[in-house]
């Protein structure tokens, strides 16, 4: 193995990428704080059980370790939401809801492809009204618009609707999973085969046919109501209609579509679920939904709803659009040939106070070499203090000009001269 080899599925972000990803986080944070959400930083590692009790599949997905101190299995977080639920149930036992939290960081999943995913997430806890779900969707729309994105679609479904359908169609328990997976790939012929295998009568087949077509604009909600009239389905469609009305008054209807024919989301989702899509990215850039029974399993009975956004995919999208172009903080590079005088330190300090990014050369080598390196590293200007052949002078240069100037009587004066020269160029 080479010393520089890294494990599969993990990557390094180099300075430009790191700055740009940081900028996405900064913009999201700015918006979410305006909505009154507060940050939490959950630990990177928790007992495996915290995740597993919510969804067995986390056991398979997690990176697991043995905690030497207790002998119990611990897991590198495969999902933030169970952690937030635990935190609310343990640290906010008696505080009155609602709670509005956001988090940023990576989740880790031991699967093929990427194994670390940067996320930004939002949770609104303690409100069961559909208005809460509408708030989460509004927050997403605002955050994405703040990044300059417009043509994204939020694709909304409802777990309760599919549950109602499964009951109404009398799908046997052991076949539910198969049915749900056929639905989620809209596999018409697979469903036909499934209907044949189960000897479904014609009424059921017709209903399934309608079900498979229940995606699109809000009008599909009416179609859904006409076919699926059981209590669960009606409740789900009514909820979605109400939500759409709210989102319409916010002016977001263009960004909203519905899909009642799929059950997406995690196992812990209990009501509406959604995914966020953009025409320039083939895979969903975020998802979320309501999880009313999750926090209860940690000891406090609170309804909740939330979302998480995949920052890596947002980044990929913004790069394709060339919408992010952050300059590296590379204004001035100071080269000092006589370090004993501490001049460089003082000049750099004063320039930084005035708002410039200033780095010092420090490495011993010929001045011309240092200047060349400064420009190779992307610095705009290089300043040489105490140049050998010019006593009491300094040099300011860029790739386009070079100017030799007399030092001032004080650091302040010298810096002012430097700034004058920078402004001329």
Partner 1 sequence: MDRDRITFALPKGRLLEKAVELLLKAEIDASQVLEKTRKLIFENGKYRFILVKPFDVSTYVYHGAADLGIAGKDVIEEKGLDVYEPIDLKFGFCRLCVAEPVDISEPYDIEKLSFIKVATKFPKITDKYFRSKGVHPEIIELYGSVEIAPLLELTDRIVDLVQTGSTMKANGLREVDTILVSTARLIVNRASLKTKYERVKDLVGRIKEIYLSGNISK
> Which residues inside 308-337 make contact with partner 1, applying CB under 8 A?
none
CA distance 389 to 398: 20
Give min distance, CB of 330 to partner 1, in A. Answer: 34
* Terminal CA-CA length for the chain: 50
Check residue 259 for interaction with partner 1 (CB under 8 A): yes
Of 49, 138, 142, 153, the one binding partner 1 by CB under 8 A: 153
Check residue 206 for interaction with partner 1 (CB under 8 A): no
Shorter beta-carbon distance to partner 1: residue 282 or 366: 282
Check residue 155 for interaction with partner 1 (CB under 8 A): yes
Q: SS3 of 69, please?
A: coil
Shorter beta-carbon distance to partner 1: residue 193 or 341: 193
Of 34, 111, 185, 301, the one binding partner 1 by CB under 8 A: 185
Check residue 251 for interaction with partner 1 (CB under 8 A): no
Contacts of 167 (CB under 8 A, 6+ apart): 230, 232
CA distance 248 to 405: 64
Q: Count interface residues toward partner 1 (CB under 8 A).
A: 26
Check residue 53 for interaction with partner 1 (CB under 8 A): no
User: Which one of 96-104, 146-154, 233-241, 296-304 is the stretch in contact with partner 1 (CB under 8 A)?
Assistant: 146-154
Give min distance, CB of 145 to partner 1, in A. Answer: 16
Contacts of 371 (CB under 8 A, 6+ apart): 335, 382, 384, 397
CA distance 399 to 382: 9
Give min distance, CB of 194 to partner 1, in A. Answer: 13
Give min distance, CB of 62 to partner 1, in A. Answer: 21
Give min distance, CB of 277 to partner 1, in A. Answer: 4
Check residue 339 for interaction with partner 1 (CB under 8 A): no
Of 161, 277, 333, 356, the one binding partner 1 by CB under 8 A: 277
Check residue 28 for interaction with partner 1 (CB under 8 A): no
Shorter beta-carbon distance to partner 1: residue 216 or 251: 216
**DSSP 8-state class, residue 297:** G
* 380, 421 contact by CB (below 8 A): no
Of 142, 284, 293, 297, the one binding partner 1 by CB under 8 A: 284
Shorter beta-carbon distance to partner 1: residue 256 or 344: 256
Q: DSSP secondary structure string, 85-152?
A: HHHHHHH-SSSPSPEEEEEEEEEE--SSS-SEEEEEEEEEES--SHHHHHHHHHHHHHHHHHTT--S-
Residue 158: closest CA among 239, 64, 44, 247: 239
Give min distance, CB of 206 to partner 1, in A. Answer: 14
Where do the H-state alpha helices sit in 327-410?
343-353, 367-376
Shorter beta-carbon distance to partner 1: residue 145 or 186: 186
Q: SS3 of 269, please?
A: coil
Region label for 180, one of left (φ > 0), alpha (ψ between -120 and 50) or beta (otherwise): alpha
Give min distance, CB of 135 to partner 1, in A. Answer: 22
* 58, 51 contact by CB (below 8 A): yes
* 119, 81 contact by CB (below 8 A): no
Q: H/E element holding 257?
A: strand 256-259
Check residue 111 for interaction with partner 1 (CB under 8 A): no
Of 13, 204, 280, 419, the one binding partner 1 by CB under 8 A: 280
Region label for 13, one of left (φ > 0), alpha (ψ between -120 and 50) or beta (otherwise): beta
Shorter beta-carbon distance to partner 1: residue 183 or 347: 183
Give min distance, CB of 178 to partner 1, in A. Answer: 13
Shorter beta-carbon distance to partner 1: residue 281 or 326: 281
Check residue 151 for interaction with partner 1 (CB under 8 A): yes
Shorter beta-carbon distance to partner 1: residue 281 or 373: 281
Contact residues: partner 1, CB under 8 A: 151-153, 155, 184-190, 212, 215-217, 257, 259, 275, 277-284
């Amino acid at each position: 193995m080479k010393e520089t080899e890294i494990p599969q599925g993990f990557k390094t972000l180099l300075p430009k990428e790191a700055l740009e990803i940081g900028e996405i986080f900064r913009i999201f944070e700015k918006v979410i704080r305006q909505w009154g959400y507060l940050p939490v930083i959950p630990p990177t590692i928790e007992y495996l059980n915290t995740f597993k009790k919510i969804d067995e599949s986390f056991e398979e997905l997690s990176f697991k370790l043995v905690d030497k101190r207790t002998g119990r299995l611990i897991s590198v977080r495969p999902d933030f939401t169970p952690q937030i639920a635990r935190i609310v149930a343990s640290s906010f036992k008696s505080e009155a809801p609602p709670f509005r939290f956001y988090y940023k960081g990576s989740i880790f999943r031991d699967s093929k492809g990427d194994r670390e995913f940067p996320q930004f997430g939002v949770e609104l806890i303690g409100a069961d009204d559909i208005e809460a779900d509408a708030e989460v969707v509004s927050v997403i729309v605002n955050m994405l618009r703040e990044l300059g994105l417009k043509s994204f679609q939020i694709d909304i479904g409802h777990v309760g609707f599919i549950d109602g359908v499964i009951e109404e169609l009398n799908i046997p328990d052991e076949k539910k999973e198969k049915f749900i997976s056929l639905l989620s790939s809209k596999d018409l012929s697979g469903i036909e085969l499934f209907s044949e295998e189960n000897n479904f009568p014609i009424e059921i087949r017709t209903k399934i046919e309608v079900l498979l077509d229940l995606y699109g604009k809000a009008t599909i909600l009416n179609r859904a109501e006409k076919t699926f009239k059981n209590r669960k389905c009606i409740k789900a469609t009514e909820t979605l209609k109400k939500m759409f009305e709210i989102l319409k008054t916010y002016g977001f209807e263009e960004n909203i579509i519905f899909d009642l024919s799929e059950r997406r989301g995690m196992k812990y989702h209990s009501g509406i679920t959604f995914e966020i899509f953009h025409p320039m990215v083939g895979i969903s850039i975020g998802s979320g939904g309501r999880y009313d029974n999750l926090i209860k399993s940690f000891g406090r009975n609170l309804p909740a709803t939330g979302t998480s956004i995949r920052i890596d995919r947002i980044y990929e999208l913004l790069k394709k659009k060339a919408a992010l172009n952050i300059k590296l903080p590379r204004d001035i590079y100071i080269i000092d040939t006589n370090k004993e005088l501490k001049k460089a330190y003082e000049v750099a300090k004063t320039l930084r106070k005035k708002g410039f990014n200033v780095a010092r050369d420090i490495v011993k080598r010929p001045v011309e070499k240092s200047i060349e390196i400064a420009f190779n590293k992307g610095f705009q200007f290089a300043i040489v203090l105490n140049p050998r052949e010019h006593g009491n002078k300094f040099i300011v240069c860029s790739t386009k000009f070079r100017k030799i100037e007399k030092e001032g009587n004080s650091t302040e004066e010298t810096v002012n001269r430097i700034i004058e020269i920078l402004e001329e160029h």
